[in-house]
Structure 1
Amino acid sequence: MNNVPTSYQEVFKTDKGVVYQCDATNRLVLEFWDTHTPMSARDFAQFRRMVQTIDIRQMALSTDNAYDVEILALPRSERCYVLTLCEVIHLRELLNGATLMLELNSMLRECGCSIAP
């Protein structure tokens, strides 16, 4: 996403994607593979759980074509991702990092600490 709306705050970024928080719509926006997908916090957490349950060991060790890709449909969306093993690992890194940063920001707010933009 080259022109990021001003209502978007970057939560976490890797070289493969970024997660934004949109204050205007109260949504998280996943940018991955040149797409951006807005979702609620609940849908984001559900999608992260879906990605976490993928058996990457099985994908890596199996010679069966059925394990070459994983197909994930996003909650309450028509979009789906068809991911290779490497893409699953990159997506996990992005989603886990974003979740960690959201939790950290929440803890800082609870402590009354100011969060720099």
Structure 2
Amino acid sequence: MICPLANVEEVFKTERGAVYQCSRKNCYWLDFNCTTTAFKVSDLFMFKKRIDCIDIEAMLNDSSRSSDFEIVMPFRTERCFILSPQDILNLREILSGAKFMLELNGSIKQFLRHGHYSAIVA
């Protein structure tokens, strides 16, 4: 659960989960499968890369029981994710949306910081 004293803002949300930014602890919270996991921004992006590298097609084509799930332990967390192919797709959507929103926010801030907004207003 996210700390009740934390000041969080939604970064990206789907029916399956969300990513929130916590300004108090300077971290991001992933809410997925009824659990929350805190990440530093670099660790969140590393976790996204790890999830993106999972070969879902190989999982689906392999008939052995060991290929039914992927076990992922994110760096610097105590969390262990046991993911089905559908979980992986859902997590990819959440993490991709969060990354896009974070990059968009950074681009907008940089744009405004360099005074380019005056061309839009004029």
TM (norm. structure 1) is 0.89
Radius of gyration: which is bigger?
Answer: 2
Unaligned runs of 5+ in 2: 118-122
Runs of 4+ in 1 over 2 A off after TM superposition: 1-6
For each residue in 1:58-102, what CA deviation from the matched residue of structure 2 results, as whole angstroms up to 9, or x when unmatched?
112221222100000011112110000000000000000000000
Instruction: Report the number of matched residues.
Output: 113
Specify whether residues 77 and 85 from structure 1 end up closer, same or farther in structure 2 by C-alpha distance, changes over 3 A only: same
Query: How much has 1:3 moved relative to structure 2?
Result: 9.3
Q: CA RMSD in A?
A: 1.8
Distance between the aligned counterparts of 2:4 and 2:92, measured in 1? 23
Letter in 2 for 1:102: L
Distance between the aligned counterparts of 2:4 and 2:97, measured in 1? 20
Q: Does structure 1 conserve the Cα–Cα contact (< 8 Å) formed by 2:6 and 2:25? A: no
Unaligned runs of 5+ in 1: none
Distance between the aligned counterparts of 1:66 and 1:2, measured in 2? 32
Query: How much has 1:4 moved relative to structure 2?
Result: 6.8
TM (norm. structure 2) is 0.86
Q: Does structure 1 conserve the Cα–Cα contact (< 8 Å) formed by 2:2 and 2:36? A: no
After the TM superposition, which of the residue ranges 55-64 and 11-20 deviates more from structure 2? 55-64
Distance between the aligned counterparts of 1:31 and 1:7, measured in 2? 15
Q: Indicate the percent of aligned positions where both proteins have the same amino acid.
A: 36
Q: Which residue of 1 aligns with 2:58?
A: 58
